[in-house]
Amino acid sequence: MKNKIWGLVIILCCCLVSISFAQETNFTLAVQDSPALVQTRVDVSIEKNSFLTFQADNPLLQGKITMRVVEKVTLLSGDYAGWGYAYLEYNAGKFAGSLYYVFHNDEGRGMLTGDVVGVAQQLTGLQKDMVWKVAILEGTDTQATINLAFNSYKTGKTTQYNNIWMPVVPSFMLSSNGYSQETTVILLPAPDGDPHNVRKFKGGGLEFGTYQSGAQSGTVWSFLDNTELVDPPFNQRRFGARDGILAGTAEIVFQQGSGGNSAEGWSTLVVE
């Protein structure tokens, strides 16, 4: 079964930054077509309240870093098995904040918010070394790469749910002059409510895909936060990370009013 979703306009502020100078470019992105919503059901694993520790050795950030895995969702079946997303809270000395994380098998990337703003990357799994590419530190523009050596993992509670309703938008298009983006959007209702209640959109999800900017291209992965009821695929907020010419963080906020869905988005500093 497929449902049609009406298009919308997204205002995206994109900051292009190098080590020596900063340049901000504002432009508008619009949905070209009404994307089809495909209804699927999958098995998922949900992990909560696990703890990871890392060790950082950088003049900007040194010592022990603790991350609490508030929730990690892994798709176990279907066409997108191996994909997943997680919300983590980090504590690094006087610095604290959140990590919105998307992964595919062992590869993962996410958006750091709070005292540290930037992109987190891993290539060999969540319980392995991590790299932070920092754009902002305590509100100050910063360009730094911080390597985090994995130290320990303390497991929390893991529960498997079967036959969960999962709407998917296989092709979600955005475009502007010289820029185009196509992602697959995956949504899950809130498992902490009734995971089989098909009327519930309150939950989370992820998106992944590619973008083209002029002659350059890259990929974008985003964590979808739907803590308020918004018709899919227009989740309340998206926290993303891009690579390539527009490498850095990307955030989109969706709103639902009497006039329908609308959205406003922006990017933080590029992480070189």
* DSSP secondary structure, 186-239, as one string: EEEE-TTS-TT-TT---EEEEEEEEEEETTEEEEEEEEEEESS---TT--SEEE
Q: Quick one: which H or E segment has residue 79?
A: none
Q: 188 forms bridges with which residues in the sheet?
A: 204
Which of 153, 158, 157, 149 is closest to 51 using CA atoms?
Answer: 153
Residue 105: the pLDDT is 96
Residue-wise pLDDT tens for the chain (272 aa)? Answer: 333 333 344 444 443 333 332 333 444 556 545 678 888 889 999 999 999 999 998 999 999 999 999 999 999 999 999 999 999 999 999 999 999 999 999 999 999 999 999 999 999 988 999 999 998 899 888 889 999 999 999 999 999 988 888 889 898 877 767 778 899 999 886 554 455 555 444 568 999 999 988 888 999 999 988 765 555 555 568 899 989 888 888 887 765 554 444 555 556 555 55
Amino acid at 191: P
H helices then E strands: how many in the chain?
0, 19
User: Which tokens in the block code for residue 7?
Assistant: 């298009």
Longest Cα separation, the chain: 55
| C-alpha to C-alpha distances, 81 to 20, 45, 123, 178, nearest whole angstrom | 42, 11, 18, 33
Its sign, for the CA torsion 186, 192, 195, 198, is: negative
